[in-house]
Amino acid sequence: MKRFVKFIIILLPWFLSSLVPIDKNYYSSLNLPWFAPPGVAFGIIWSILYICIAISIYQIINNHNKKDIPNSYKYTLLLNYIANQSFQPLFFYFKNNFLGFISCIITLITSLFLYKETKDLKESSAKWLIPYIIFTLYASILSLSIYFLNIT
């Protein structure tokens, strides 16, 4: 039970941005590229990705003493978390497609660094981040496409 609670404590902060009030019709009101999924798909995909990220973090925390986890890992994780969480308010609350794209790019870059930092600590934990990197790359391309399709 203790392990489950620890995992949930790691997982829950990733869902924090979902508490930001958003205009749910904003995404569907935009000019979208042909490869854009329906809005409902994002909640499912990000939930799965957040679980993968939490598993990776959980494994690192369980296999290392807190003082043995390098600051570079902690800082990279924090930067990635901030970038990840900034997308929803920037894109949906402020309705700023450009800042949403910038958030995606920063999330992509920091996810690559997070993968490297995680791999240095435990290679099997880094593998949980691969779907996150792939989808963040896709989200960056999608976000850039949305930006250019909706320049007025």
54-101 residue pLDDT tens: 999 999 999 999 899 999 999 999 999 999 999 999 999 999 999 999
Provide the sign of the torsion angle of the four alpha carbons 131, 134, 140, 145, taken in this order: negative
> Does the pLDDT value for residue 51 go beyond 90?
yes
As a whole-number percent, the residues of the chain with pLDDT over 70 amount to 100
Report the C-alpha gap between 124 and 39 in whole angstroms.
32
Which one is predicted more confidently, 1 or 12?
12
SS3 76: helix
Provide the residue ranges of all domains of the chain, joining segments of one domain with +: 2-11+40-149
Report the C-alpha gap between 91 and 87 in whole angstroms.
6
> Does the pLDDT value for residue 152 go beyond 90?
no
Which one is predicted more confidently, 137 or 23?
137
> Does the pLDDT value for residue 20 go beyond 90?
no
For residue range 125-148, list pLDDT tens digits in order: 999 999 999 999 999 999 999 999
Both tokens of 73, joined, read: 């890992």
Report the C-alpha gap between 108 and 94 in whole angstroms.
21
Question: Is residue 141 within 8 Å of residue 89, measured between CB atoms?
Answer: no
What pLDDT is stored for residue 18 in this prediction? 84
Report the C-alpha gap between 53 and 36 in whole angstroms.
23
What pLDDT is stored for residue 19 in this prediction? 85
Report the C-alpha gap between 99 and 83 in whole angstroms.
11
Q: How far is CA 124 from the centre of its chain?
A: 19
What pLDDT is stored for residue 87 in this prediction? 96
- Amino acid identity, position 19: L
